[in-house]
Every structure is written in C-alpha cells, then in structure tokens.
Amino acid sequence: MMGLLIEEILIYGIVAIICLIVVWIYLRKNKSSSSLTQQKVNIAKAEGRFEPVSLYPHIDLNTCIGSGACIKACPEQDILGIVDDKATAINASACIGHGACFHACPVEAITLRIGTATRGVDLPHVKPTYETNVSGIYIAGELGGMGLIKNSIEQGKQAVENIAKSTKKKIEGIPDLVIIGAGPAGIGGALTAKKNGLDVVVLDQDSLGGTVSNFPRTKIVMTRPVDLPLYGKVKFNETSKSELLKVWNEALSNNEIKIEEHVKVDKITPLVDNSLKVISNDGREWQTNHVLLAIGRRGSPRKLGIPGEESEKVAYKLLEPERISGKKIMVVGGGDSAVESAMLLMEENEVTLSYRKEKFARIKPKNQERINEAIEKGYVKPLFNSNLISIEPDKIQLQVNAENGEAVSIENDLVYIFIGGELPTKFLENAGVTITKRFGQIMKKH
C-alpha cells in the first residue's frame, strides 16, 4: 500500500514538474515575444509609423484578453502585436482599415476609429443615411472615413438604397442621380441605382476604379467577399488590380452602365427648385435630383508647383510598368506608392528616388525591407533631403541638402510624382457641406 502511495506521489510530482516546465517555457516565450513587439513599437514611433493616418484599430485594454486572434486575422504585416498579454498597435499608419481584426476579436475589444485624441481628421458631416447637411448630397466610401474596397462598396449600395427611398420632391426630366467617382463606392452605388430603376450618370476625373486604378498594375488588393448588385457575390481573398477591374467592367457592361471618364467636377450648386447642378472644369453641366460623392479623401493628385511640371513626361500614376524600359526615371515621394513604383521600374530602367526627408516614413515594413535591399544592390539610387526645382525636356534640376541649397542637374526621360493628394475640403465647403474635425471618431462597420 505504502509503495503504491509513493508511486502515485512520484507520478504527481513528475506531472507537476512537467507542467511547471511548460508554464515556464510559455512565460519565457511570451516575454521574449512581448519584448520583440515592444522593440518594433519603439522603432515605429521613431520612424513616424506608430501614429495612424486614417482608419485604425483602437484596442480597449480593459477588455482585451490577448488571444492574438486580431494579429492572425490581419493580412498586413506588423500592424498589431502583443505586449504584456495585451494587443497593441505597431505600425498603425500602414493600416488599411479592412476590419478583419474587429471581426476576429472574441471579446469585442477592438473598434475602428479615425483620428486620435491629439490629432484630428477633417470629415464631412454625414447622417446615418449617408446624406450630408445639404439636401440631396450624399457621401460614401473613403471621403466619409471608410476606405476599404468592401466597406466602400457597401456604403455606396446603402447610400443609393436610401436615395431610392427618399421622400425628397423630384424634378422630372433630369437624372435621378449623378455619382461623382467611379471607385468602389461609386460602382456599388451605380449598380444599386440600376437595380432600383434610377436614371444615373457616373463621372470620374480619371478612369474606372478610382484610387484602385492608380495602383501599380501588379499590386495586390486585399478584399473580402462582397455582393455586387445585379452581378452576384464576388469572392476574393486577394487579387490583382487588373482582375478586380475586369469584374467591375463586366458588372457595369452587363447592366449598360457607362462611366464618363476624365471629367473633373469643379462645383456642385444647390438650385432653388431643390435640385442640384454639377459643373465640370470644361464647362459641362448636369442638373440632377441627387448627388453621391464617392471621390475619396485624396481628391486630385498633389503637385510640386515647379517649372516644367506640365510636361508630357510627368505622371502621377504608374500604368503598365512592364512597357517601360531603357529610361532614366525620377520617382518623387517617400510613401508606399513611390517606393513600389520605383521597384516595379528598376529592373529595366535607371531609377532615382527623390524624397524631401532624410529617411522613408510610414511605409509598410515589407516595402521598407525591399527598398532597402534594392538600394543596397544599386537597383535604385536614393536622394534623401532633396527637392525637384524644375523639369526640362532632357533633364531635371534638384536641390540636394536643403541646408546649403546645392543644386544638381540630372539627365532624365520620365518623372513620376507620388506626394499624396489634395483633400477636397474647399470643394465640399463650396457646395455647402459642413466639415468637422473628428478626434477618435468610432466608425460604423459593415
């Protein structure tokens, strides 16, 4: 009996020791992982990537249980991590707002917000119906705070559903709706308008796809399954821009919806009969009962404002990089679009990358690794602390090192400028839409 008891004690003792070892290994691994994440956070803060610039996940530390589900769900790299058994943002500026973390959290500790307690973001005043303070003007998509493709499509659909149900008195003989912007929100809205029998006109200052069409051709667009009206459910986990645009083209073509491309709208004017007048920069006009703004937050590409920028060799987006070879190319900018474009062009061309700051900031970690490698191998020549001062037919002039004002001349065939876009604040205010600076605004999810 005594021998059996001793044997049981030994077994329990061994089990206890094994459990302690497992716990010790877990705690040590957890501590190591926590330390690594904190290092990444510190680096992100130093490089200006910790502060969000758009939609981002806000974590309630009192609710978070540190499950890590949000990290596994995020398709991007190093957006979230775990520190001391709690989730934390790392590179919040790289968040694209897809909301996978929001849906994956088992205790609902994550909300999607725009703006922080100290940094406000200008947003138009939009009602739950997506109508602004101006009767008949609606906003959906990135301009209203939601930039992800699926979310933008859903907002465009819902906005037009509300327009279809609107009790606003309509003027006969004019379109029910003019949609400005042929991106995800505009496409979702146009198909919903057709589904509801609305007469719709779709305008875009560029081409079908909006911001998506400005991605380099091979860039991967992350999206979730979405239901396109009159087309069906589109199930993408990841896809190329060209594949996505093909689906949209097919959906619009099948339903005889034409996009009027290269039409830049300068003004929206409310009329006394409660209708709206849309005026383009070339003087064309459309009178309509409703307007859906789906133009994105970037508005028009920001320009340098230097001599020669109007030259035909200057572009603000990169299309078909595989067709460009043997050129001396200057890429201007330090964000993801600039470095991605430089890397797409570097194999067949001589690429120089000009950035006004001393190092890249707020680019995705993977892009940071790839561009560093490209620079080390000599595929891309970086010119930090530099500014273009003029563009000439066969060369460009740069100011290198702003402190001493040194100017250099570089032979050049093409210039690509990626320095962001102008927020359409003035355009909205001229139409009477109220703009409010939001701090930590919780965004509605779909």
What span, in angstroms and rounded, lies between the C-alpha atoms of 234 and 225? 6
Higher pLDDT, 215 or 267: 267
Contacts of 220 (CB under 8 A, 6+ apart): 238, 239, 240
Q: Packing angle between helix 336-345 and helix 365-376, nearest 10 degrees?
A: 40
Residues 429 and 122 sit within 8 Å (Cβ to Cβ): no
Residues 196 and 161 sit within 8 Å (Cβ to Cβ): yes
Looking at domain 314-419, its CATH architecture is 3-Layer(bba) Sandwich (3.50)
* CATH 3.30.70.20 residue ranges for the chain: 2-110
Predicted local confidence at residue 446, as pLDDT: 47
Q: Region 107-133: what's the mean pLDDT?
A: 85
The H or E element spanning position 36 is helix 2-46
Amino acid, single-letter form, for residue 406? E
Strands (E), 211-309: 220-222, 226-228, 232-234, 238-240, 259-260, 265-270, 276-280, 285-288, 290-293, 300-301
Q: Which of 220, 219, 155, 217 is nearest to 181 (CA)?
A: 155
User: Predicted confidence band at 345 (pLDDT cuts at 50, 70, 90)?
Assistant: very high
Predicted local confidence at residue 30, as pLDDT: 58
Task: Retrieve residue 105's tokens.
Answer: 């959290």
Amino acid, single-letter form, for residue 291? V
* Whole-prediction pTM: 0.71
Q: Region 320-340: what's the mean pLDDT?
A: 92
Q: By three-state DSSP, how is residue 337 classified? A: helix
236 CB neighbour count, 10 Å cutoff = 16
pLDDT over threshold 80, residue 402: no
* CATH 3.50.50.60 residue ranges for the chain: 122-301+423-442, 314-419
The H or E element spanning position 256 is none
pLDDT tens-digit profile of 162-199? 999 998 888 999 999 999 998 889 999 999 999 999 99
**CA triplet 237, 228, 238: central angle to 5 degrees?**
15
Task: Retrieve residue 275's tokens.
Answer: 């209708």
**CA triplet 88, 339, 41: central angle to 5 degrees?**
15
Amino acid, single-letter form, for residue 285? E
Q: By three-state DSSP, how is residue 211 classified? A: helix
Q: Which CATH class is domain 2-110?
A: alpha beta
What span, in angstroms and rounded, lies between the C-alpha atoms of 344 and 240? 15
What span, in angstroms and rounded, lies between the C-alpha atoms of 378 and 373? 9
Q: Between 3.40.50.20, 3.50.50.60, 3.30.420.40, 1.20.1250.20, what CATH number should domain 122-301+423-442 receive? A: 3.50.50.60
Cα distances (angstroms) measured from residue 205 to each of 106, 144, 174, 431? 42, 19, 22, 18
The mean predicted confidence, pLDDT, of the chain is 84
pLDDT tens-digit profile of 207-233? 776 666 666 555 555 556 778 888 888
pLDDT tens-digit profile of 29-86? 556 677 888 888 888 777 777 888 777 888 999 999 988 899 888 877 788 888 888 8
